[in-house]
Amino acid sequence: MKPPFHELPHPREVIRHFTPSWFAVNMGTGITGILIANFPFPFRGMVIIGTIFYLANVCMFSLFSIVFIVRLFMFPEVIPAMLRHHQSLMLSTIPMGLTTITNYTVLVLVPSHSWAIELAYVLWWIEFSLTILSILGIPFCMMIYQEHSIDIMNGSWLLPLVPAVVTGASGCYLSRFLEAEGHRAIMILTISAITLGCGLSLAFPVIGIYFYRLVAYNVPGEDVIITTFLPVGPLGQGTYGIIELGRACQKIIGDTYAPGFGDSAFTVCIIIAFFLWGYGLWYLCFAVISLSVRSKSHVPFNMGWWGLTFPLGVYTAGTLNIAVATHSRFFRGLAHFSSVSWFWYGCMSPQEPYVEPTRGESLMHLVFMNIVFMVRFLITKCENVIVPPAKMHNVCKYPGIHVNGCRFVTSYIHVA
């Protein structure tokens, strides 16, 4: 068996070819912990299991952040190349990965630890700052420095915009726990509502353009077929966020502006949530059918596969929020089914039908194995070897790293 990263001439190249797509692992791991800790049918130990995922997520996010920052300082020439490359779309996974940490902190730690609310407050402002950079900076790079066309468009165009929806929903959730502090709760709620509205307003036209691309140019190819799940993300997270906005208005604002204002806002938000949930259901069904059709031919495995766990996870979270808000047994059962199915896919299902492994491996096992070897390389003492700096055209020199026979696209992400 060939060792991981055997294509790299030197361990330092692990840092050079580290890409933001690794933060998609944080998104999938984080939403796993949240769904388990918030399971619709409670069971003994679910918070402990969720906390294990939470701690693993924190460790991975810290590791990825350190490696990413070190990469920028050791190889500054990759910065302009990355911004001109479609890989820049994956920078938006950084604030979304951090949001899963913030949300779990609010969900589990805030009710039992007084210091956790301040931690969540600081984390939210950090993710908000990164979100602003994502929704403003990345689309600017797409327009000015990159070449795009409708015929090769896929769901990854949504990636720079989704952080606004995710951060807005997270802020609405956080604001309910700041109720006792008055001004901070109103401030976070106001900013979050604006951010959520901005994200959804920007996502809708992109989803419309994407629908036209599907009709005019067929579904995406095998290498990017997983991107058909991406429209489910903002719609599922929008469902969750709109309900959290209604709850926050009901709890924080109440009758401040007019009698029954909070209750009316909550009712309107529930209605909007149903629209978003139904919209997302269509794209979810379409994505499943498209993947089934494309799977008849070879569908290569890459890091984008881990990214689809987040859209499915937030759609499940939105379903659960509808169930709780409406006291619906149907939606609670649906959320239960979605949680179990999603968790089975992410952690247990072998990827043999879709990739070319030497043996059946689970998605989570392969990714975490890759991380272990990454850490091993990073802590290994490097020899004094002069590594020539990468030029603009060969920053993404290595098209993939082979781990146990699986091809991980770590040096760039296919978006065309």
User: Using 50, 70 and 90 to split pLDDT, how confident is the model at 351?
Assistant: very low
pLDDT at 231: 92
Contacts of 90 (CB under 8 A, 6+ apart): 19, 20, 21, 23, 24, 159, 413
- Does any domain span residue 408? no
**Residue 402: beta bridge partners?**
407
Q: 344 versus 185: which is more confidently predicted?
A: 185
Identify the CATH number of the domain in which residue 336 sits.
1.50.10.150
- Does any domain span residue 1? no
Tell me the torsion sign for CA atoms 96, 47, 346, 328: negative
CB atoms within 10 A of CB 116: 16
pLDDT at 132: 96
- Does any domain span residue 6? no
With a cut of 90, say whether residue 65 has pLDDT above it. Answer: yes
Domain count, the chain: 1
Lowest-pLDDT range of 43-57, 176-190, 201-215: 176-190
- Does any domain span residue 317? yes
Return mean pLDDT, the chain: 80
Lowest-pLDDT range of 160-164, 230-234, 409-413: 409-413
* pLDDT tens-digit series, residues 217-229: 988 887 778 888 8
pLDDT at 136: 95
With a cut of 60, say whether residue 368 has pLDDT above it. Answer: no
- Does any domain span residue 242? yes
User: Using 50, 70 and 90 to split pLDDT, how confident is the model at 246?
Assistant: very high
- Does any domain span residue 410? no
In the predicted model, what is the mean pLDDT of residues 32-58? 89
pTM for this prediction: 0.82
* pLDDT tens-digit series, residues 81-105: 888 888 889 999 999 999 999 999 9
- Does any domain span residue 407? no
Virtual torsion, Cα 170, 176, 177, 181, nearest 10 deg: 120
Find the domain containing 366 and state its range.
12-398
In the predicted model, what is the mean pLDDT of residues 57-71? 94
With a cut of 70, say whether residue 11 has pLDDT above it. Answer: no
- Does any domain span residue 413? no
